[in-house]
Amino acid sequence: MDTARRTPGAPRFLHLAGEQLRWDLLRALAHSDHRVGDLITAVGQPQSLVSYHLRKLRSGGLVTGRRSSADGRDTYYRLDLDRCAELLADTGQGLHPALALVPPTPPAAGSMRGRVLFLCTGNSARSQMAEALLRRRAPHVEIASAGSHPKPLHPNAIAVMREQGIDLSGHHSKHIDEFTGQRFDYVISLCDKVREVCPEFPGHPDLVHWSMPDPSAAGDTPEASYPAFARTADELSTRIGFLLPNLTRTHLTETRRS
């Protein structure tokens, strides 16, 4: 008997990503969180098809959605890169043990260069935490953060970062205008409202959106909102981990000036 006929079916990742449009959607979402309208533009297909395949990707656990804090009628979609890595590992293992994925070696700190700007509305939590987390893992990258309506640093942001051995107590909030005219390799917006008002920066930086809720809105007291700050720190750590390899390949600001 042909043993191939008795083997399990194709791995789940192949079913989910094997269709061309779904693959195009995954690639677009691997770069940035997007709304349906953004994805329609990115893949050049009608809304009915994009929405259909997004539902398939969501039901398969590769993509999640979150209502926009800027316009509740919109939803931002995000690719779960951890889940993709897990399913890809299962796919290789299912074909042959020798094809099991080996976790990538984190890039050496000295190999990462460039300039990164994190933006949110208040520059009081998300963008400050992202700046601090990336700076610890990529000390040779120039990193800044700012907000469209700066507010004092939230005490929970300081407390959560302190648990990770990072001191934010001396940081202060900054307005986006302080960085107008400067060149960056990546401009990463962390809230939906600031994405709508993000100014243009010279040199055509890579614009990335991470749609993340404001942790300070999760409770009426610092005690009530603290768990949301801890979740925000965890999500930022994960997203930054996937950003790091890009910082070894990015076109540096100095190159863009030439």
Kindly state the helix (H) or strand (E) to which residue 35 belongs, with its residue range: none
Q: What is the dihedral of CA 26, 28, 33, 34, to 10 degrees?
A: -110
CA distance 83 to 85: 5
pLDDT of residue 6: 53
**Which residue is catalytic, options 17, 28, 120, 153?**
120
Per residue of the chain (258 residues), what is the pLDDT tens digit?
444 455 567 788 998 999 999 999 999 999 999 999 999 999 999 999 999 999 999 999 999 999 999 998 999 999 999 999 999 988 888 888 888 777 778 888 888 889 999 999 999 999 999 999 999 999 999 999 999 999 999 999 999 999 999 999 889 999 999 999 999 999 999 999 999 999 999 999 999 999 999 999 998 888 999 999 999 999 999 999 999 999 986 544 444 444
Residues found in the chain: 258
Of 186, 225, 222, the C-alpha closest to 203 is 186
Tokens at 206, concatenated: 């890579």
pLDDT given at position 256: 46
Catalytic: which of 36, 198, 218, 252?
Answer: 198
Catalytic residue among 191, 233, 244, 247: 191
For the CA atoms of 163, 168, 170, 175, the dihedral, rounded to the nearest 10 degrees, stands at -160
pLDDT for 219: 85
Instruction: Determine whether 84 is an active site residue.
Output: no
pLDDT of the residue at 250: 56
Query: How many whole angstroms separate alpha carbon 163 and alpha carbon 227?
Result: 13
User: In order of start, what are the domains of the chain with their CATH numbers?
Assistant: 10-99 (1.10.10.10), 109-257 (3.40.50.2300)
Strand 115-120 to 186-189 pairing: parallel
Q: What is the pLDDT of residue 253?
A: 43
* Pair of tokens at residue 175: 């307005």
Supply φ then ψ for residue 77, to 5 degrees: -105, 140
On whether the pTM is more than 0.75, the answer is yes
